Amino acid sequence: MLKIIKHHTSVFCLAYFLVGATFISGCVSGQLGKNNSGEYRNGMVVSAHPEASEVGVAILKKGGNAVDAAVAVQFALAVVYPNAGNIGGGGFMVFRSAEGEINALDFREKAASSAGRDMYLDSAGKPIIAKSLFGHLAAGVPGSVDGMVEAHKKYGKLSWAAVVQPAVDLAQNGFKITKRQASELNSLHRDFMKFNPDGTAFISLESTWKENDLLVQSELANTLKLVQEKGRAGFYEGVVADAIVAEMQKGKGIITKADLQNYHSVWRKPITGDYRGYKIITMPPTSSGGIALVQLLQSVEPYPLKRWGHNSDSTVQVIVEAERRVYADRATHLGDPDFYNVPKNELLDRNYNTQRMSTFRWDSATPSSTVLAGNVKGKEHEETTHFSIVDRYGNAVSITTTLNGSYGSLVVVKGAGFLLNNEMDDFSVKPGAPNMYGLVGGEANAIAPNKRMLSSMTPSIVEKDGKLFMVVGTPGGSTIITSVFQTIINVIDFGMPMQAAVSAKKFHHQWLPDEVYTEKDALDSITTEKLKAKGYRILPRGAIGRVDAILKTKWGAYQGGADPRGDDKAIGY
Ligand code: GLY
């Protein structure tokens, strides 16, 4: 494994040297948008769906900037990638302007004003899992439309109508579903029937979907037209708000008109940190992702990962021990900063993280039970989506957005055609109780009215010498943080080009359960045996993350990394 990757790296490096020279001469002549290595210099969009990437690039070609393209892609994904793309959910944006201004937008959903700490517990105080996972009560107040309005108001260049139009067209005219989508929609047929007995666009009239079938979403097109005409009022007021409230009344949900009207996204100061001379710009709470990412990087920085090699036993051991400690902190200390005093400065203190690693011993795994007494569990779904965008000016946008579960709560708002999230499940439904998936949460993330639920989403941008270097992010629930972390070190420590860094096999540990999850072939058998001998429990699992990222080369070209684990696509020009 190690040998193969080293070989690839050196071959690519040589190619880049040559291509770099070609590119520079092309740039001088002003003719090249693309060079021979599939690198571009005018802009790039990498997203979970080819149609959405096309939309973003078309906006860039029209003279739109990265934020215009991001807004268009967010709305397009709500149509062509309804698993996670959304207007009924929320997300986070990290922005870096060509001049180096940085900003972060929190458009995470909020609990309704009548939400309560025990709303998902039965009379014996036990969590009723299905209630926070499915149906109307699982939904938080959606943030995506307000987020896009805010992002566009602050940084957009093209008209609002122009950036929403591609999504309207896709919903109205339909798009061809992928093989993967056909199979997902078929497998969810009964669930969609259960939560939407009057039918939805996701229920095939022929009862089964096939690859390349046209999915037309007329109700969603009308909603998007209202958003296009009226901005946030097209969603949080009027007929769409009426439809959401009617839906709530039908399914015993609790989102009110006032909740919708009062929803506002928040501009926050990004988390920044240094790693081996690179500056990491990432998402602050309400996501745990940014703090945890910087903690992980600080924890491993003293170790010679490059010398040890990618996924070697020493590299894996140090990373797992760092992850164990950082996820224990996450469980205890992170929640909505508007409700809970997150000890940000302490967690981001380099000495603190070095100190945490001082309890690690080479000869055996540190049992998680001795790292920190955690007694609260939360749970996270992995079906979020991420997209990365750069424009010709050098502006960069990193957005991760979600409905939480695949197709969220499975409730489609009748008459308005969009899925509601099931993000309430990202709260600690019962501080102190074990969860279904094993990720641990705490008091900091207990449910309260109007509070945002903790997330792991980690949209990030990396700078080198004051210049844009990388745009990166991924879905994957609790694995988001470790996936972004591994992608960054794959480039910085192991010298991988962007696509190789995204494709490389990953592993994951999250403190509890005390297990190392590995993708197929992530670790070779000798490495696995060495780690097992030290007490690590190594368990194979399916794909980890679905990273979409962009790297800016020394010669000013954009390299895309679209994750082969999905239908993801990098398109540049
Ligand atoms: N719902 C997944 C996350 O926010 O991390």
What is the rounded CA–CA span in Å between residue 117 and residue 236?
25
Mean pLDDT over the full length of the chain: 90
Give the model's confidence band at 512: pLDDT under 50 very low, under 70 low, under 90 confident, else very high.
Answer: confident
Q: Say what the pLDDT of residue 360 is.
A: 92
The rounded Å distance from CA 382 to ligand 1 centre is 7
State residue 29's pLDDT score. 29
CA 425 to ligand 1 centroid distance, Å: 9
Query: Which strand (E) or helix (H) includes residue 350?
Result: helix 350-357
pLDDT over 60 at 11, yes or no: no
Is the pLDDT assigned to residue 270 strictly greater than 80?
A: yes
Q: Which residue would you say has higher pLDDT here, 13 or 203? A: 203
Q: Are 79 and 219 in contact (CB under 8 A)?
A: no
Instruction: State which of 106, 327, 424, 426 you would mutate to test the pocket of ligand 1, scoring each by most atoms of that ligand within 8 A of its C-beta.
Output: 426
- Cβ(418)–Cβ(87) below 8 Å: yes
Q: For a substitution probing ligand 1, which of 108, 286, 386, 404 has the most ligand atoms within 8 Å of its CB? A: 404
**Sign of the Cα pseudo-torsion (429, 435, 438, 441, in order):** positive
User: How would residue 110 be classed by pLDDT, with cut points 50, 70 and 90?
Assistant: very high
Among the ranges given (25-34, 318-327, 451-460), the one the predictor scored with the smallest mean pLDDT: 25-34
DSSP string, 502-522: HHS--EE--SSS--EEE-TTS
* Each residue's pLDDT tens digit, 288-313: 999 999 999 999 999 999 999 999 99
Active site residue 474: no
Structure tokens at 453: 């639920």
168 lines ligand 1 (CB under 6 A): no
SS3 of 330, please? helix
- Which tokens belong to 202? 């996701």
Q: Are 143 and 263 within 8 A, CB to CB?
A: yes
pLDDT at 488 over 50: yes
- Residue 403's pLDDT band (boundaries 50, 70, 90)? very high
Cα 358 from Cα 351, distance rounded (Å): 11
Q: What is the CATH number of domain 274-379+463-563?
A: 1.10.246.130
Domain spans in the chain, listed from the N-terminal domain onward: 47-267+383-445, 274-379+463-563
User: Given a cut of 90, is residue 7 above it in pLDDT?
Assistant: no
CA distance 401 to 144: 8
Instruction: Give the phi and the psi of residue 548 in degrees, each rounded to 5.
Output: -125, 120
Q: Bridge partners of 175?
A: 215
> Tens digit of pLDDT for each residue in 157-208?
999 999 999 999 999 999 999 999 999 999 999 999 999 999 999 988 777 9
Q: Do residues 196 and 411 touch, judged by C-beta distance below 8 A?
A: yes
Say if residue 378's pLDDT is above 60.
no
Task: Kindly report the protein residue whose alpha carbon is nearest to atom 4 of ligand 1.
Answer: 455
Instruction: Give the integer Cα–Cα distance in Å for 496 and 494.
Output: 6
pLDDT given for residue 372 in this prediction? 60
Closest atom of ligand 1 to 289 CA is 5
CA-to-CA distance for 407 and 231, rounded, in angstroms? Answer: 24
* pLDDT tier at 438, thresholds 50, 70, 90: low
Cβ 288 under 6 angstroms from ligand 1 = no
Is the pLDDT score of 272 beyond 70? yes
Q: What is the pLDDT of residue 27?
A: 33
Ligand 1 pocket test, pick from 457, 474, 481, 546 with the greatest ligand atom count within 8 Å of Cβ, gives 457
Query: Residue 381's pLDDT is what?
Result: 67
Whether 314 has a pLDDT exceeding 70, the answer reads yes
Quick one: average pLDDT of 256-262? 98
Burial class (CB in 10 A: 0-12, 13-18, 19+), 345: exposed
Number of residues assigned to the chain: 573
Tokens of 114: 């009548």
Instruction: Kindly state the helix (H) or strand (E) to which residue 262 belongs, with its residue range.
Output: helix 257-262
Q: Is the pTM of this model over 0.85?
A: yes
Q: Give pLDDT, residue 430.
A: 80
Catalytic residue, from 223, 315, 332, 384: name it.
384
Map residue 175 onto helix, strand or coil.
Answer: strand
Nearest Cα to Cα of residue 181 among 314, 350, 353, 48: 48
Ligand 1 atom with the smallest distance to the CA of 478 is: 5
Which tens digits make up the pLDDT trace of 342-377?
999 999 999 999 999 999 999 999 988 888 633 223
Q: Ligand 1 within 6 A of 381 CB?
A: yes
Contact 241, 235 (CB under 8 A): yes
Span from the CA of 447 to the centroid of ligand 1 (angstroms): 15
Q: What's the pLDDT band for 129 if we cut at 50, 70, 90?
A: confident
Mean pLDDT of all residues in 554-572: 96
Whether 220 contacts 417, CB under 8 Å? yes
Query: What is the spatial distance between Cα 24 and Cα 32, in angstroms, rounded to a whole number?
Result: 9
Position 207 scores a pLDDT of 76
Q: Looking at residue 439, what is its pLDDT?
A: 55
pLDDT of residue 410: 95
- Nearest protein CA to atom 1 of ligand 1, as residue: 404
Q: What are phi and psi of 272, to 5 degrees?
A: -125, 150
Residue 146: pLDDT band with limits 50, 70, 90? very high
C-beta separation of 107 from 265 below 8 A: yes
Residue 157, token pair as written in the block: 């260049």
Confidence of residue 6 (pLDDT cuts 50, 70, 90): very low
